[in-house]
């Protein structure tokens, strides 16, 4: 047994584990190739070499299902992932002790917050730390930290399980908005009783990625959505065209002078964002710096997030 293990180790190219991890995370050789900056054939070849070295099949491969981990592959993932994190930590501690922050960080977030708040904030952070490469993923769904789709995540639901470090990032408010032109063309809105007679812009209920987004019916009983979208940004632009009333985050609509709040003291929805990352990444210097920066940026923009100001503020990175 020891001889067979030694033979496998002697044939093993440790760099092949990088390719293995990316395929395991994306479940596609083509997806792994894009993330690694190589072509499909290189990824497929490195996986075959790794399987030959270990003498076992790591993936079940099919055109429709892609690359699905076998039982042996699932066991290897845990070890390879731990090795990757250890190498990252070692490089971080050794290479950055006397130099500026460097490395790569991928940040996943909800779509609206990512585009309207995080993007400008991260641009300022990156200007101060030019050696830190940042990928921002503002998407209308949850990202998986387990699959390494992101290193940091900002979401509207607190993760209920997993090896994560999590903190509440901030509260934020949503209010009802419309253009002045829309309000001038339609029946006046003097109280909540007038709202059901108006057209609304909202989410596609059965496609919303979180029940936290289904606030229209709870906030305005009897409201009818004439235009629906899975994207809050699409709702924002539809509202800008005078397509109806929309419940929008204040950090989005509050920065746009063409939109005005409707019944601002009556129609208010309060939600919160959670910031979290994997425990094994939390102590990386670049992760710590960005984590602290995002918390400071949220604190420095409390007025914008809560609908008390239409101005975004920036802090020093």
Domain total for the chain?
2
Task: Tell me the C-alpha distance between 248 and 176, whole Å.
Answer: 6
Same domain, yes or no: 81 and 230: no
What is the pLDDT at residue 109?
96
Same domain, yes or no: 87 and 212: no
What is the pLDDT at residue 95?
57
Ramachandran sector of residue 196 (left: φ over 0; alpha: ψ -120 to 50; beta: rest): alpha
Same domain, yes or no: 225 and 137: yes
Examine residue 102 and state whether it is found in any structural domain, yes or no.
no
- The first and second tokens of residue 45, run together, are 């070849």
Examine residue 141 and state whether it is found in any structural domain, yes or no.
yes
Examine residue 101 and state whether it is found in any structural domain, yes or no.
no
Which residue, 95, 123, 157, sits at the end of a domain?
A: 95
Same domain, yes or no: 129 and 14: no
Same domain, yes or no: 80 and 152: no
Contact 294, 275 (CB under 8 A): yes
What is the pLDDT at residue 3?
42
Write down the H helix ranges in 135-219: 180-185, 216-219
pLDDT under 70 in the chain at which residues? 1-11, 65, 85, 88-99, 317
Range(s) of the domain holding residue 57: 2-95
- Fill in the DSSP letter of residue 268: E
Handedness of CA 212, 117, 105, 315 (dihedral sign): negative
Same domain, yes or no: 67 and 121: no
Which residue, 60, 95, 130, sits at the end of a domain?
A: 95
- Fill in the DSSP letter of residue 6: H
Residues 282-305: b if buried by 16+ CB within 10 A, e if exposed:
eebbbbebbbebbeebbeebeebb
Same domain, yes or no: 85 and 113: no
What CATH number has the domain bearing residue 18? 1.10.10.10
pTM of the model: 0.75
Examine residue 186 and state whether it is found in any structural domain, yes or no.
yes
Same domain, yes or no: 37 and 169: no
Examine residue 100 and state whether it is found in any structural domain, yes or no.
no
Same domain, yes or no: 125 and 16: no
Same domain, yes or no: 276 and 153: yes
Task: Tell me the C-alpha distance between 119 and 116, whole Å.
Answer: 6
- What values do phi and psi take at 215, rounded to 5? -100, -10
Same domain, yes or no: 116 and 85: no
* Cα three-residue angle 169-173-175, rounded to 5 degrees: 160
Q: What is the pLDDT of residues 196-222, one digit of tens each?
A: 889 999 999 999 889 889 889 889 988
Task: Tell me the C-alpha distance between 143 and 248, whole Å.
Answer: 22
Which residue, 95, 119, 143, sits at the end of a domain?
A: 95
What CATH number has the domain bearing residue 258? 3.40.190.290
């Amino acid at each position: 047994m020891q001889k067979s293990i030694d033979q496998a180790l002697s044939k093993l190219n440790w760099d092949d584990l990088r390719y293995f991890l990316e395929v395991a995370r994306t479940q596609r050789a083509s997806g792994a190739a894009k993330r690694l900056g190589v072509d499909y054939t290189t990824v497929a070849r490195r996986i075959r070499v790794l399987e030959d070295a270990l003498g076992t099949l790591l993936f079940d491969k099919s055109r429709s299902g892609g690359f699905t981990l076998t039982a042996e592959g699932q066991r290897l993932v845990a070890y390879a992932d731990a090795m990757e994190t250890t190498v990252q930590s070692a490089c971080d501690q050794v290479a950055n002790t006397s130099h500026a922050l460097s490395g790569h960080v991928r940040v996943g977030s909800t779509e609206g917050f990512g585009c309207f708040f995080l993007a400008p904030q991260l641009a300022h952070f990156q200007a101060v730390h030019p050696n830190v490469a940042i990928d921002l993923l503002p998407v209308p769904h949850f990202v998986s930290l387990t699959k390494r789709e992101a290193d940091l995540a900002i979401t509207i639901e607190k993760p209920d399980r997993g090896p994560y470090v999590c903190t509440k990032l901030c509260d934020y408010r949503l209010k009802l908005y419309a253009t002045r032109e829309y309000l001038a063309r339609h029946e006046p809105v003097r109280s909540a009783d007038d709202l059901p007679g108006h057209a609304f812009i909202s989410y596609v209920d059965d496609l919303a990625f979180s029940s936290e987004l289904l606030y229209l019916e709870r906030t305005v009983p009897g409201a009818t959505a004439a235009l629906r979208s899975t994207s809050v940004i699409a709702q924002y632009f539809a509202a800008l065209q005078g397509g109806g009333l929309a419940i929008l985050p204040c950090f989005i609509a509050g920065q746009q002078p063409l939109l005005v709040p409707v019944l601002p003291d009556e129609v208010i929805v309060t939600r919160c964002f959670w910031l979290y990352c994997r425990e094994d990444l939390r102590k990386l210097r670049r992760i710590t710096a960005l984590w602290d920066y995002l918390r400071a940026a949220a604190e420095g923009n409390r007025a914008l997030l809560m609908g008390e100001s239409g101005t975004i503020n920036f802090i020093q990175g």
